[in-house]
């Protein structure tokens, strides 16, 4: 990767993190949503440890997916409406690198806090330490994929009427395999099996997304700006 691309990623990453930290309320709402929804399930179901341990991986993963979806609309929309995105696209730096920095900032401000909080919230579901470790690892591999795939949907729906609903329709089918493999890895460990196949698929998906998605997002942004 050229120095120009690295500088572009670093600039976009630092800028979007600063912007996100100025609007702490939006970040707080997403994290509060994650905490509240995950915490409500044990209260609404049986106190049986076996049932909670069975439900836990699916609840934690589904809530992480929905929390990621909540924040996608702000990934490009504000920059699109105030003209910043057009200036970014006109920059001499590679647009694919600039949107990569924006996607990295999205994950650091929305996905990484979910990963950090997962072991604590997972303890409510009577999950053992190896299960919690697998859950954390699967989220660490899977949540960046959610941000990357979500960025494709966010770029494709820029300027569209009813963009939020359209974004959900576009992104949710793409999220399904990530959800299946992420929750499947945790269930495998609970059943005494190896989580390696599921984690390997998540890792392969992450590598593929890291290579392909920035160029797809850059193309979608250019289309939206034309």
Mind listing the pLDDT tens digit for each residue in 152-175?
Answer: 988 888 877 666 678 888 888 999
Average pLDDT (41-70) is 85
Phi and psi based region of residue 93 (left: phi greater than 0; alpha: psi -120 to 50; beta: remaining): beta
Q: How far apart are CA 150 and CA 130, in angstroms?
A: 30
Indicate the pTM of the whole model. 0.90
Q: 61 or 21: whose pLDDT is higher?
A: 61
- What pLDDT does 134 receive? 94
Average pLDDT (196-221) is 94
What band does 208 get if pLDDT is binned at 50, 70 and 90? very high
What band does 93 get if pLDDT is binned at 50, 70 and 90? confident
Contact 63, 122 (CB under 8 A): no
Residue reference for tokens 């300027």: 159
% of the chain residues with pLDDT over 70 = 95
Q: What stretches of 45-162 show up as alpha helix (H) in DSSP? A: 49-71, 77-81, 84-90, 95-106, 112-122, 129-156
- What pLDDT does 89 receive? 85
Give the pair of three-digit tokens for residue 109: 């401000």
Residue reference for tokens 């591999």: 141
Task: Specify the range with the lowest mean pLDDT, choosing from 33-37, 147-151, 153-157, 166-170.
Answer: 166-170
- What pLDDT does 163 receive? 60
Count of the separate structural domains present in the chain: 1
Can you give the C-alpha Rg of the chain in angstroms? 18
- Is the pLDDT at 1 greater than 70? The verdict is no
Average pLDDT (178-195) is 91
Q: How far apart are CA 151 and CA 104, in angstroms?
A: 10
Supply the mean pLDDT for the chain.
Answer: 87
- What pLDDT does 132 receive? 92
Task: Specify the range with the lowest mean pLDDT, choosing from 123-127, 174-178, 195-199.
Answer: 123-127
Q: 43 or 23: whose pLDDT is higher?
A: 43
- What pLDDT does 181 receive? 94
Neighbouring CB atoms inside 10 A of 123's CB total 13
Q: How far apart are CA 114 and CA 222, in angstroms?
A: 31
Give the pair of three-digit tokens for residue 125: 């579901």
Q: 155 or 206: whose pLDDT is higher?
A: 206
Domain containing 106: what range? Answer: 3-225
Selection from 27, 12, 65 nearest residue 214 by Cα: 12
Query: Could you give the dihedral angle defined by the CA atoms of residues 85, 88, 89 and 91, in that order, rounded to the nearest 10 degrees?
Result: 160
Average pLDDT (86-92) is 85
- What pLDDT does 162 receive? 60
Q: How far apart are CA 204 and CA 199, in angstroms?
A: 9
């Amino acid at each position: 990767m050229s120095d120009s691309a690295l500088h572009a990623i670093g600039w976009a990453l630092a800028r979007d993190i600063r912007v996100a930290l100025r609007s702490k309320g939006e970040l707080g709402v997403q994290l509060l949503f994650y905490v509240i929804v995950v915490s409500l399930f044990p209260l609404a179901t049986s106190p049986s440890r076996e049932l909670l341990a069975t439900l836990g991986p699916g609840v934690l993963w589904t809530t992480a997916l929905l929390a990621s979806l909540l924040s996608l609309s702000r990934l490009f929309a504000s920059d699109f409406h105030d003209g910043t995105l057009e200036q970014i696209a006109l920059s001499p730096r590679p647009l694919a690198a600039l949107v990569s920095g924006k996607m990295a900032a999205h994950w650091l401000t929305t996905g990484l806090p979910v990963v950090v909080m997962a072991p604590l919230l997972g303890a409510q579901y009577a999950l053992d330490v190896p299960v919690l470790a697998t859950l954390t690892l699967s989220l660490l591999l899977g949540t960046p994929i959610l941000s990357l795939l979500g960025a494709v949907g966010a770029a494709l729906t820029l300027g569209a009427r009813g963009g939020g609903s359209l974004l959900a329709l576009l992104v949710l089918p793409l999220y399904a395999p990530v959800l299946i493999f992420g929750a499947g890895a945790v269930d495998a460990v609970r059943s005494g099996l190896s989580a390696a196949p599921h984690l390997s698929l998540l890792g392969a998906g992450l590598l593929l997304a890291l290579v392909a998605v920035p160029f797809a997002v850059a193309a979608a942004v250019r289309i939206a700006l034309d």
